[in-house]
Amino acid sequence: MIDLLLLPGLLCDQSVWKHQAQALSGVAACSIPDWGSLDSLPAMAEAALRSAPERFSLAGHSMGGRVALEVYRLAPERVSRIALLNTGSDARPAGAAGDEEARRRLALVGLARSKGMRVMGRTWLPPMIDAARLGDAALVDSILDMLERKTPDIFEAQQRALLARPDANALLERIRCPALLLSGREDTWSPPARHAEMAAKIRGSELVIVPNCGHMSTMERPDAVSDALRAWLIPSSSTGASATREANTRGVTEPEQTG
């Protein structure tokens, strides 16, 4: 049985990985940490390492992907595989762009404090999922329910952690374990092009693009993500060269074009 850490992203809890933990239960013992009120990515990485087995596979989604990189920075010898989903490796930009990012992130925190987490979530959510899924009440409500389980204080702590995120670009070139990078084709927050740049820096990595999918890939297209993780955990072959492929989304059709 493979020990697998599944690291959640901003305001996410175990439900963001629910499908994958169940789908992989026959091959992996999955654990999903809670970040509590931690306010830095290195502190989150240290917390994950304290509760982790001596050696483990590691997958992180969104902010969790950045935490996964910090785990690898701290203890590369303990990580047997790494998967980075809908994430990035850049630090916050300097100057006006970085100031604007801080303004936008902290404005959402202000909205959460004044109007509540669910109202904030309705503002935050539309760019996070494929536009074709905005009318999917089950998906939208499951995400909003998850956000509402967190507090504005936790939200602010995690936003400040992201604003102070380390630059991990140089670290990518030092990764020497099997690596999977995954992005939704419609992810405008952490787009496929960013993942392609990251994959090019990791020797022998695989890049998977999931069609009809935005930033919340584990919940939007859970089967495709679970299949990609299974193939990463138990590869049928290894070419030693970087590869890119589009995920098979079982039962998914392209949305009808209107207008």
Q: Helix, strand, coil shares of the chain as percentages rounded to 5?
A: 50, 15, 35
Report the b/e string of 219-258 with b at 16+ CB within 10 A: bbbbbbbbbbbbebbeeeeeeeebeeeebebeebeeeeee
Is the distance from CB of 218 to CB of 129 less than 8 angstroms?
Answer: no
Low-confidence ranges of the chain (pLDDT < 50): 237-242, 248-259
Which pLDDT score is estimated for 15?
Answer: 96
**pLDDT tens for residues 69-120?**
999 999 999 999 999 999 999 999 999 999 999 999 999 999 999 999 999 9
Which pLDDT score is estimated for 235?
Answer: 77
Which pLDDT score is estimated for 117?
Answer: 97
What is the SS3 assignment for 8? coil
Which pLDDT score is estimated for 255?
Answer: 32
Q: Which two tokens stand for residue 98?
A: 């970085």
Which pLDDT score is estimated for 82?
Answer: 98
Strand-strand pairing, 79-85 and 56-61 = parallel
Q: Which of 226, 174, 230 is nearest to 205 (CA)?
A: 174
Which pLDDT score is estimated for 168?
Answer: 96
